[in-house]
Amino acid sequence: MSTSALVVAAGLWGVGAGALLPRAAYRFSAPEEEAWRDRCPEGHPIRGWIGRARCRRCGTRVPYDPGAPVLMAATALVCAALAAATGTRPELGVWLLLAPLGVLLTVVDLRVRRLPNPLTLLFPGAALALLGLVALVPEHAGDWPTALWAMLAVGAGYGVLHLINRDGLGFGDVKLAFGAGAVLGWYGWATVMLGAFAGFLFGALYGWGRVLLRRAGRKSAIAFGPFLLAGAFVGLLIGAYTA
């Protein structure tokens, strides 16, 4: 398969996967005291996790729904970029499976500044398990033991930062960092450092931008998960392209 055809196929996969995310995005965008939402604003039960974020009984489009087109476009762009950088190497399958999870985590954190446990705990486990299978396939370009050690190192590093500044970095970010470390570590320690640095850089630029625009103070907290994931995405693209 040519690179252009692969990119198109990955983009179409992203469109399909993104179309399944709105209901999960709504249900996970719950207050801190709730595990997830199980009812629409009118009080009707909402069941299932995939598909549109719309109540079947009253037809209400629920709050916090970013809209299927937005999620479809975002997931398609992420998947297409990963395909362009990775090419036909087998680890692309792992990136395409994890990409919708990253988009979902980003949306939820932006909406309610929360990274739900079911998603942050799934991320590192799924990444390591899938990469372990890819390590058995010829022509892969990564190293599974490095992914494991990087997962532990990045997670521990974020854990220390959380202990130093609990208000600036939530424990959800620490759990998310384990997954980011696993995927970055697949391509080596240089990719880990690049992805981690990019995440902090993006977060700092956003924070200082808000300060300069007088929309926040120097000590104002931000949802850091999207920047952590954006940094991991950039590091993964560069790591995949140069592997």
Q: What is the pLDDT of residues 87-138, one digit of tens each?
A: 999 999 999 999 999 999 999 999 889 999 999 999 999 999 999 999 999 9
- Quickly tell me which residue has 């000590």 as its tokens: 219
Instruction: State whether residue 61 is helix, strand or coil.
Output: strand
Q: What is the pLDDT of residues 170-224, one digit of tens each?
A: 899 999 999 999 999 999 999 999 999 999 999 989 888 877 776 766 666 678 9
HEC per residue, the chain: CCHHHHHHHHHHHHHHHHHCCHHHHHHHCCCCCCCCCCECCCCCECCCCCCCCECCCCCCECCCCCCHHHHHHHHHHHHHHHHHHHCCCCCHHHHHHHHHHHHHHHHHHHHHCCCCHHHHHHHHHHHHHHHHHHCCCCCCCCCHHHHHHHHHHHHHHHHHHHHHCCCCCCHHHHHHHHHHHHHHHCCCHHHHHHHHHHHHHHHHHHHHHHHHCCCCCCCCCCCCHHHHHHHHHHHHHHHHHHC
Q: Residue 92 has what pLDDT? A: 97
pTM as predicted: 0.92
In the chain, the percentage of residues whose pLDDT exceeds 90 is 65
Measured from the Cβ of residue 188, the count of other Cβ atoms closer than 10 Å reads 19
Q: Residue 24 has what pLDDT? A: 92
> Does residue 60 have a pLDDT over 70?
no
**Whose CA is closest to 25, among 58, 57, 49?**
49
Lowest mean pLDDT among 12-16, 61-65, 91-95: 61-65
